[in-house]
Amino acid sequence: MVDVLWKGGTQSLPSASRPCGISWRRATLSRCSADIRWANFYKDAAHQEICGLHTHASSGEGADSARHEFYTHVEPDDGGKNPPPWWLIGILARIVSSLRRKLKLSARAIEAGWLDTVPAEWAAHQRPQLRTEIEKFSTIDLTTLDDAALFAHLDELRAFCARCMRLHFTLVVPHAVGLHELVTTCEELLGWDMQKTMHLFQGLSTTSAASTHELAEVARLVRNRAAAREIVEARRPDLVERLDEVDPSIADRLRQYLRVWGLRVFGSDAGSPSIAERPQFLADLLADLLTDDAPSDQSAARFAAVEEARSQLTEPARRRFDEALEYAERVYPLREDNVLLTDQLPTGLVRRVAIEAGRRLATKGLLTRADDAVMLTAEELRNALGAGRDVRRLISQRKSEHAWVRANPGPMTYGPEPGKMPDVRGLPGPARRINGALLWMMEQELSPPPKGDANTVTGIAVSPGVYRGRVRVIRSAAELSRVRAGDVLVCPTTSAAWTMVFQRAGALVTDAGSVLSHTAIVAREFGLPAVVATANATSVLKDGEEVIVDGTRAPATMRREDDRRVGLIFFVPGKGETLRISGSAKIVRDADLRESMAARGKTPDFALVLEVEEAFFHCSKCVIRSNLWTPQGWPALDGLPSLAQTMVDAAALPMPV
């Protein structure tokens, strides 16, 4: 396994997954085919072709262990060596019968216009159909089903999710082709790098911020309704129930909101809690939106970038740019739209079943908590309910294993540096167009992060802007409530549900990610400066320290401000106790503040402002034992240098005192 480069913590595969999540993902992928429509050399975890993705879940004690970490690599990967030359790849594609068949199918797909019809079918039919099916599934009252019906429903969801995954991988292709061709066009015609080209997409991925926009609509209704506003401002987890008593229409709007967005899980698998299971999280976000509007429209930035590009071009180059841009604008929103409806919301539906099965086990005394059910596979849940098996000891063991993995994660990458991606210019046009785009996308997603050292945070700038603020390190969804307005959110990676706190953040920094990642897309939609793929941000940066995040420069190196942490101790003559204060300090030149500090007719040039983070009294024993307030116990000062002599000696000044 270590003769190739493996990358952990990729966007769709979390670095640590629970048995419920990993078993479901494996079962779903095994039932879907990623290349039903596209004759290409791409593959997912279930299909082996010439080049593509391969996933590996390292685990502790076999398939039923909770010690799972996902790693991914691109195939072919020859352990750092170079792939065959382009001309040999071209020859092999024409003489190997299975590849010749794929070349013909690839040509047929392009000739049939699938790059245009697939996105069109998604927008017109598949997208609304999936939304309708998901809402239908979400309204089923699982508590009314007996055990057999509950697992029959789960089997129905399994088939639904497999269909979603087939659609998911089909939509990947036009998305990749559109982005790749625009990036290539801008590089050749304008000399733009990929980060610069991404400015052309700001404001297009409306799904990225949709959950926040829809909740902001509810907040706007609440603002002018005194009774409802009072309840929302209280930030209580029983928000919906309390609104039922004073403003049922607002309560209904929130239930409607939760019917869809409540399914979103905070991680990337069914083992993670959903938004609906975190009512306090929703209450805090809605209260924040009473005084803070939804993300601003980023269309103006996109229009400016388009105009900048077109102004530098003349015909026929401008026509080529316009054609590439028009197609890229159509397919760019597919990424977030696709992931929401084919992966995230179906995953939430699966979790509902697992939690209901867990509730039944807990009622029978076979499980401690309903949500512990995610530490079992679907088949184990079925068997536990059917046989009345006590799984508490097994759950305890797996929770310990999972906690150990989270506390001791594997490296972001292991294995040798990868070789070059295959050069596909020897393939016929249609196959070259599809495979070139997919290989490019995989290279962006799975390349190792920039190299740094233990004290430097270096990453990829993915969303423009410069922001200076305080670090808030968040390692899991359970800590999201710690994010405060203006914080620099630093985390291993982000999932879709995390976007709801992006409204609070001033900038984003992640260990994993790429220019094409979910974090990058959403940061651009929220207008947040962002740096991803740092590999070490969560271990190097500390809560409270100030940093400057530059999401424009590539590569991006985080600028850490001088350490402004301070500690003060206050002594009161005659008293043993001391007051200690910890916090941070900054120098200001505010005129009114300096005037208030004037003494003997003199106004200071600056003031030192301290922000107190904690204050506490210190034990008096050290003061008492040192005889600090007893002059008889003071040592003699004879022989000690004066302050002036100390300063001269410290600065090594050649002058007498």
Q: Give mean pLDDT, residues 104-128.
A: 92
Mean pLDDT, all residues of the chain: 83
Quote the distance between the C-alpha of residue 224 and its chain's center. 34
Q: What is the CATH number of domain 455-560?
A: 3.50.30.10
Residue 481 vs residue 19, higher pLDDT: 481
* pLDDT over 80 (residue 473): yes
The more confident residue out of 337 and 17 is: 337
* 70: phi then psi, degrees, rounded to nearest 5: -90, 135
The predicted pLDDT at position 104 comes to 85
Predicted local distance difference test score (pLDDT) of residue 43: 34
pLDDT tier for residue 42 given thresholds of 50, 70 and 90: very low
CA distances to 427, 443, 649 from 638, in Å: 90, 72, 18
Q: Which long-range contacts (CB under 8 A, 24 or more apart) does 254-259 make?
A: 254/218, 254/282, 254/286, 257/214, 257/215, 257/218, 258/282, 259/135, 259/138, 259/139
Higher pLDDT, 347 or 647: 347
Q: Which one is predicted more confidently, 177 or 583?
A: 177
The pLDDT value recorded for residue 63 is 44
Average pLDDT over residues 562-577: 77
Q: What is the pLDDT of residues 199-225, one digit of tens each?
A: 999 889 888 888 888 999 999 999 999
In the chain, the percentage of residues whose pLDDT exceeds 90 is: 37
Answer whether residue 13 shows pLDDT above 90.
no
* Residue 556: strand, helix, or coil: strand
Question: Which residues lie below 8 Å from residue 387, measured CB to CB, with a gap of 6+?
Answer: none
Tokens of 338: 């696709």
Contacts 24+ apart (CB under 8 A), 45-48: 48/75
430-452 residue pLDDT tens = 889 988 898 888 888 766 666 66
- 83-87, 487-491, 552-556, 601-605: segment of lowest average pLDDT: 552-556
pLDDT reported for residue 419: 66
Higher pLDDT, 214 or 564: 214
* Residue ranges with strand state E in 375-494: 413-414, 458-463, 466-473, 488-491
- Amino acid symbol at 355: I
Q: Please report the pLDDT score of residue 34 as a whole number.
A: 42
Provide the residue type at 460 as one letter: I
Helix boundaries (H) for 81-193: 86-95, 97-111, 114-121, 127-138, 147-190
What mean pLDDT comes out for the span 412-423? 70
Closest CA to 192 of 333, 316, 325: 325
% of the chain at pLDDT higher than 70: 83
At residue 71 the predicted structure's pLDDT band, cuts being 50, 70 and 90, is low
pLDDT score at 118:
94
**Residue 399 · residue 43 · CB < 8 Å:** no
The per-residue b/e assignment along 417-445, b for 16 or more CB within 10 angstroms, e otherwise, is ebbebbbbebbbebbbbbbbbbbbbbebb
438, 171 contact by CB (below 8 A): no
Q: What is the mean pLDDT of residues 242-260?
A: 94
- Antiparallel, parallel or unpaired: β 556-557 and 458-463: antiparallel
Average pLDDT over residues 164-187: 93
Output the pLDDT for position 136. Answer: 94
Structure tokens at 644: 């002036």
**Is 60 exceeded by the pLDDT of residue 372?**
yes
Dihedral pair phi/psi, residue 59, rounded to 5°: -140, 170
- CA nearest neighbour of 246 among 273, 229, 227: 227
Total count of residues recorded for the chain: 657
pLDDT category, 77, cuts 50, 70, 90? very low
What was the pLDDT predicted at 37?
44
Confidence of residue 60 (pLDDT cuts 50, 70, 90): very low
The confidence score (pLDDT) of residue 236 equals: 93
> Residue 530's closest CA among 478, 481, 469?
469
The pLDDT score that the predictor gives to residue 33 is 47
Q: Which residues contact 516 (CB under 8 A, 6 or more apart)?
A: 179, 335, 441, 444, 445
For residue 142, is pLDDT > 60?
yes
Integer Cα distance of 620 and 330 in angstroms? 70
Q: Please, are residues 310 and 318 in contact by the beta-carbon 8 Å criterion?
A: yes
First to last CA, the chain: 71
pLDDT at 602: 86
* Range 62-74 average pLDDT: 56
**Dihedral angle, C-alpha 367, 370, 371, 375, nearest 10 °:** 30
Q: What is the mean pLDDT of residues 410-429?
A: 76
Closest by Cα among 19, 6, 3 to 71 = 6
- Sorting pLDDT into bands at 50, 70 and 90, what band is 115? very high
Average pLDDT, integer, range 325-332:
96
pLDDT at 4: 59
Contact 518, 336 (CB under 8 A): yes
pLDDT at 75: 57
Angstrom CA distances, 309 to 301, 313, 445, stand at 13, 7, 26
pLDDT tier at 72 (50, 70, 90 boundaries)? low
pLDDT, one tens digit per residue, over 474-530 is: 988 888 888 888 899 999 888 777 888 888 899 999 988 888 888 899 899 888 999
Residue 48 reports pLDDT greater than 60: no
Q: What ranges do the domains of the chain cover?
A: 6-203+299-444, 207-289, 455-560, 567-651
Greater pLDDT, 625 or 346: 346
pLDDT for 62: 46
